[in-house]
Amino acid sequence: MANMFYEKDCDLGKLDGKKIAIIGYGSQGHAHALNLKESGCDVCVGLRAGSKNWAAAEKAGLQVKTVAEAAKWGDIVMILVNDEVQAEVYKKEIASNLEAGNTLMFAHGFNIHYKQIVPPKDVDVVMIAPKGPGHTVRSTYVNGKGVPCLIAVEQNPTGKAYDVGLAYAAGIGGARGGVMETTFDDETETDLFGEQAVLCGGVVELMKMGFETLVEAGYAPENAYFECIHEMKLIIDLINKGGVAMMNYSISDTAEYGEYVSGPRILPYDETKKNMKAVLTDIQNGKFAGKWIAENKNGRTFFNSSRAILAKHPMETVGAELRRNMLWGDDTDPDTASN
């Protein structure tokens, strides 16, 4: 069993007297900054001059500086801008402002693992990776709970990296849920694989094909949406709470029988496993990272066209119309939740 840490194992006092610079104010950035502030930490947000999020961060009661100013100010610098821009931001605005004994933090290992960022040897390098979206990190903290986190230490010249990392995890609420020890390498590769093969790539393709199959067979798109997409969350919530056993306990025996006889027909074990192993190999050997880095350097043509095609898919347009007509008054648009 991996090492697990909880609030009793984390001393928030290890952050006393330390200044924490949060670089970025998106989904994760706003959550980390606000949670740490409300945990009594000295926090500022680092943004590029003219950022649309500057006013939002100030309105939330946070001090805001440019990225370079924040990096120079902070004893702990947490980089929470998108993976694809981290290396450029680091090289241009953070690297020259780091001092010996500082802590450089990440919420994902991509840029360290693939050596897009190579920190100086005299700074601690730590990862605190919440296993949930930033808006959930914020909402669970406000409700007195927390999203579980991963902790990894890549460099520890001060000998205090674990103490500081665990204190940071407690400050954002992660220790309420549990903090599991891992490595930058393992977090990066398993995270990318999970996203591509199951959580995002796999699930979206499965829902899309199910939706199309029903519509092509003559069923109403609205019915197809409800059965293949809307109910996905309800099923996953059950699994998240009590594993597949709880899902099977909650669904009908008919549905459970269909799980056993039809699931393997949809995803043939040998073929699917072979393809998953190929995806994992591309992640392990850096092929995926290389393609993603090149995609960003070359105008994101494939990425942008794929996003546009998906936006026009009936699964998306029908779903948007149905959601507008559902009485989900307490839902929040992720794009505005940080404001």
Enumerate the active-site residues.
Answer: 108
Report the 10 Å Cβ neighbour count for 128: 24
Longest distance between any two alpha carbons in the chain, whole Å: 66
Contact of 7 with 170, CB cutoff 8 Å = yes
Rg (CA), the chain: 22
Contact of 315 with 223, CB cutoff 8 Å = no
